[in-house]
A and B are shown apart, each in its own frame.
Chain A
Amino acid sequence: MAVKTILQPISQPSRLQKMWQSTSIIFESRVATVGMAMVLFWVILAFLSLFWTPYDPNASDFLQNQGPSVQNWLGTDHLGRDILSRLMQGTQVILLKTRLPGDGGISIPGGVAIWGVIGSLSLGAILGLNAGYRGGWWDQVIMQVLDALIAFPQIVLYLVVIAALGQGDLVVILAITITGAPGVARLARSLAMDIKTRDYIRAAETRGESVWYIMFWEILPNARGPLLVDGMLRVGYAIFAIGTLGFLGIGLPPPDPDWGNMVNEARRNIFSNQLAVIWPALAISTLVIGLNLFADGLREEMTRYQK
């Protein structure tokens, strides 16, 4: 009987089933599920803010520094703007849109944090794969340069990049890319060094495949799991970094509200209106913690021995 079932053609699962299979792993882990719920909350809020916010986030329609009320659920800030509307709008620059320089006000989809992480993942993966797979001098040179970069405090790197290139969404993306790439490269290098010992890499070499083919078609697909999890964690760090830059006043430019900047501005009235500081701080931390939990749970579930 067993033989019969083996001999029968195994029908291919449909695309929907496949997607479910790959996402169901999230729900195996309680940590990842909670994390995902926290992240989803903000993502949904971000999309909602594209069409609707309770009030105009940049209009001073109300009394200044008011506590929560039926009218303004989270209160108002020092210019009399609705904090809830500003928080909602604030998710956009992080997760949903990047404003290109120029007066046209054109933006591209994908927030600053997302593009920053995509940037550091790509740059880091290219460098790390070259260092790990080729070894020798490639490894030496690439890793020495990256180690030197890691030796700088991140905040100094941000300041250098922004001081050199001025304010703007793209500059922040570049800053995140440069500070994130060394970490990604280290991870990609260690993965490449492990994977390159496998026989299928030998098989590709005996076929005379090019170095780039081996790196990006044979090694990278097998390193994507850990790299994606790392990327997820990095989105958290990037949001944090954006918050920090905003707090320092050199982050994302106005007019869109920025969580870090909101904390900074509300700080001056902290003794009369504490909540105006707490709301954006809470927003940053819930999103970052959510991403961290999600990534951690996912990693734990993926590296489990037993499926």
Chain B
Amino acid sequence: MTELKKTPPVLKLEDVAVAYKVRGGEIEAVQHVSFEINRGETLGIVGESGCGKSTLAWAVLNFLGNNGYVKRGSIKFQGQELVGVTGENLRRLRGDQIAMVYQDPMQALNPSMRLGDQMSEVLTVHRGMKKTEAEQRCMEMLDRVYMPDAANVMKRYPHQISGGQQQRVVIAMALLNDPALLIMDEPTTALDVTVEAAVLDLIADLRREFDTAIMYITHNLGVVARVSTRVAVMYAGELVERATVEEIYKNPRHPYTQGLIRCVPKLGADKARSVLYPIRGRVPPPNNRPVGCVFGPRCAFIQERCRDQRPQLRQLPDGSWVRCHFAEKIDPSSWTPYDEIKTPENLQRDLAGEPILEVKDLKKYYEVRGSSLKDVIGLGEKRYVKAVENASFQLTRGTTLGVVGESGCGKSTLIKTIIGLEDTTSGEAHFLGFDITNSIKDRDRSLIQELQMVFQNPDSTMNPSYTVGQQISRPMQHFKTVPKDQIRAEVIKLLDAMRLGANYYNRLPRQLSGGEKQRVGIARALASHPDLVLCDEPVSALDVSVQAAILNLLLEIQQEYNTTLVFIAHDLSVVRFFSDQVAVMYLGQVMEIGPAEDIYAPPYHPYSEALLSAVPIPDPTVKQKYIRLEGSVPSAINPPDGCRFHTRCPRRNLLPDGGKICETEIPPWREISAEHRIFCHLPIEILRDFAPVVTQSTEEI
């Protein structure tokens, strides 16, 4: 330890401020940030979007673009000042000793170069290594990041490998020169949970093995809990709290950190027994920050002093650093929710009520055109992407069906088929007794009106050319649900229900924040008073505090209008919290369906079990079973025979003969209870024997 103390920290930031020059002045995106990272340490930086996390990462690499610069403070890398370094020195540093991994691997890799060539370039350019030697090193490195069949991958182009593998290549590339500092900016955000889990394991392994210092930026509290040793919380360009990972989650000191943690549903929490508390207000824009504490306007504990005086980052007796005047005096348990949050009541739903949507053996195949001459003239054998295979479920009025699964498992196709954007290949679907296997063009207007949809991306959910009022009133005009002279009043009523207010009526989408746009999207879907609303990842593009508010809003609306919801999300904690019934999909096939609490407890389908064990949980004390799926999702054009999951199933060796039967025969539906069914060859007794995936140190879920 004494040996370690002598070497300077790998990265040390002191009172750093970063500013961007914009038209008519300057914006200080980051202010007063100080921290250090030592060898073999991962500092997780969390915060909502727009808090300056990425700017900070770019500042270290001096990569701020033409209009950004470090205004104050010093950034020291291994004792050497980085601010002001330019030209050749900077270039050498960037490739050689500081490496960066970005969010989207597809954009970090050059699509026109073979992976082997772009990887070895790092070594031939920075180390002057010979080509053959460099390739050898690259191959070794790919093995180190657990890339299967490394030699083959070297010869491929980026688009020929999956997203998780691409990110591994990017990480391998970053590690090639044995950098002292690795900066990772949301490296797993674009990946599926199962792939994310594997990449996070890899990052943790590499830190131990290479003794690299890692600066890990993310908005996901669960991910931070899994990879970091220490955590820094950023808010509005300032560092508000810095402590060890255990301390942050067990004993958050800053009201913002406490608020963040209250926003996220715990895995296993449900809407009947727990409430999400969004943080009120929103992050102030950098040119309009309050004079006093930046978090003051949103803080529940605000005092006179917070309004006038900006707090300094100071160390508390227990070693954690916090930027709050009253950190010692704040007792999180004395926190009371704001009045505007209604505690939902009576949310337990009866699944045996009147069914509103019945789907039986629904199939959706897309025809794919081959490229051979035979295919072009239409003589080739027809091939299909089997996007949805034999989906069957029932949905009771007023309940929520959550659909989870990796990307490409057919969740979106399922709801597109139900709503009629795609026609059905075969199977039955009845909505309120009407057949809905046809496309929307053939449906009656009164039926269309009852089925509406909420979309994922807040930036594209609203037409930028029309005001909020025009967009919400359009469905009312179109379906003639409201007389013309009352439309305005009705829209304002809806806006009020969305907690937006009448003054939003004339605003254009570009004047709204992401959460507000999403609210308008929900209002538009509700404007025709539909019976069934299909939500395609409505909260996954939002910050956690906004996500909590939107989820609460949806719950309230469901209660008020007795709306039935189909809710797609990839975040399993959110689905658990929000849904009454959950369907787990894999490669177009529903693998398990049942009441939410049953899905998240044994007996599990092996796939559900693997998904659950991959979810990053925002609590470092929780123990999670370690199950990692190998390989990637097979192509839906040629799905595996028998059980579609057999190529990756970690549990099939429990069957006699190593699970030969899974490869050839389609599994039976195992009825656990009237509502809970599992699509697996494993007998119920074995399924029941699975231990729960998540165990808390004290209580079991």
Contact = CB atoms under 8 A, between A and B. Distances in A.
Interface of A: 1-6, 9-10, 12, 28, 198-200, 202-203, 205-209, 218, 221-222, 306
Nearest to A220: B465
Nearest to A12: B506
A208 B443 contact: yes
Contacts of A218: 463
Contact of B463 (A1, A2, A12, A200): A200
Contact of B297 (A1, A28, A202, A207): A1
B114 interface: no
Interface string B104-125: 0000000000000000000000
A12 B506 CA distance: 8
A198 B448 contact: no
Contact of A208 (B440, B455, B460, B471): B440
B503 A10 contact: yes
B534 to A, nearest CB: 9
A307 to B, nearest CB: 8
A206 B463 contact: no
B66 to A, nearest CB: 11
B291 interface: yes
Contact of B457 (A4, A199, A209, A221): A199
B44 to A, nearest CB: 27
A2 B281 contact: yes
Interface stretch (B207-215, B282-290, B353-361): B282-290
Given A200-B460, A202-B453, A206-B453, A3 B465 contact: no
Contacts of B511: 10
B22 A306 contact: yes
A6 B288 CA distance: 11
B440 A203 contact: no
Contact of B460 (A3, A9, A28, A198): A198
Nearest to B466: A221
A206 B445 contact: no
A199 B460 contact: yes
Nearest to A222: B465
B451 A209 contact: no
A209 B460 CA distance: 18
B461 A199 contact: yes
Contact of B462 (A1, A4, A200): A200
A221 B465 contact: yes
**What are the 3 tightest A-B residue pairs by CB atom distance, in nearest-first order?**
A221-B465, A199-B455, A9-B503
Given A2-B290, A218-B463, A203 B455 contact: yes
Nearest to A307: B23
A206 B451 contact: yes
A205 B463 contact: no
Contacts of B465: 221-222
21 contacts: A1-B291, A1-B296, A1-B297, A2-B289, A3-B297, A5-B288, A9-B501, A10-B511, A199-B460, A199-B521, A200-B461, A202-B455, A203-B455, A205-B440, A207-B452, A207-B475, A207-B478, A208-B443, A209-B478, A218-B463, A222-B464
Q: Name the interface size band of chain B.
A: 35 or more
Contacts of B461: 199-200, 203
B524 interface: yes
B685 to A, nearest CB: 45
Contact of B298 (A3, A5, A221): A3
Contact of B421 (A12, A202, A209, A222): A202
B419 A206 contact: yes
A152 B598 CA distance: 69
Given A1-B290, A10-B503, A10-B507, 4 more contacts: A2-B290, A202-B421, A208-B448, A222-B463
Contacts of A9: 501, 503
User: Taking each of A4, A202, A218, which has the highest tally of chain B beta carbons within 10 Å of its own beta carbon?
Assistant: A202
Contact of A203 (B296, B441, B453, B506): B453
Nearest to B506: A12
Contacts of B479: 207
Contact of B452 (A1, A6, A206): A206
Nearest to A199: B455
Interface string B245-276: 00000000000000000000000000000000
B32 interface: no
A5 B284 CA distance: 10
A221 B463 contact: yes
Given A6-B282, A208-B443, A203 B289 contact: no
Nearest to B452: A206
Contact of A6 (B23, B281, B457, B528): B281
A3 B451 contact: no
Nearest to B307: A1
A168 to B, nearest CB: 38
A12 B349 CA distance: 44
